[in-house]
Amino acid sequence: MPEGEGSVHEGEKIYQAECMVCHGKNGFGHTADQLAGAEMSLISEYPEKTIGSYWPYATTLFDFIRRSKPMNAPGSLTNNKVYALTAYLLYLNDLIGKDEKMTALTLPKVEMPNQDGFINIYEMETTHQ
């Protein structure tokens, strides 16, 4: 993970300026995917794959934002802004507290609800040989 840090409060400001137009207020979706608020959504007929319900690792969220956002200028956000946005989105999904900061040390420690929800095909191959 790269150096940097960002708080939930900083992330909220960035989200409102850069992300809300597509992802809606509080991440509930608009013209782009819903990012928060879909509890137990993976068992429904049309699952909502939000950060809190689907993503297995918080570090993957950081990487996705860093490489692909904002849509009109992918990769243009500083590490601090990416950490802040990641913190805010984790907060919206009730995964961290509102006064927390994300850094290279704290982000990998966030436990995601669906971290065991994926099948490791490589592990299956070695156990079935």
CB 32 within 8 A of CB 23: yes
Instruction: For residue 32, give every residue at least 6 positions away whose Cβ sits within 8 Å of its Cβ, in sequence order, or none.
Output: 22, 23, 71
**What is the rounded average pLDDT of the residues 101-116?**
95
pLDDT of residue 58: 97
What is the distance between the alpha carbons of residues 30 and 129, in angstroms, rounded to a whole number?
47
**Residue 81, H or E segment:** helix 79-92
Summarize pLDDT for 43-62 with one digit per residue, the tens. Answer: 777 777 888 888 899 999 99
Most confident of 16-30, 74-88, 104-118: 74-88
Domain assignment of residue 46, given as a range = 5-127
Residue 24 has pLDDT above 90, yes or no: no
Domain count, the chain: 1
What is the distance between the alpha carbons of residues 88 and 109, in angstroms, rounded to a whole number?
16
Q: Give the CATH number, domain containing residue 19.
A: 1.10.760.10
Residue 129 has pLDDT above 60, yes or no: no
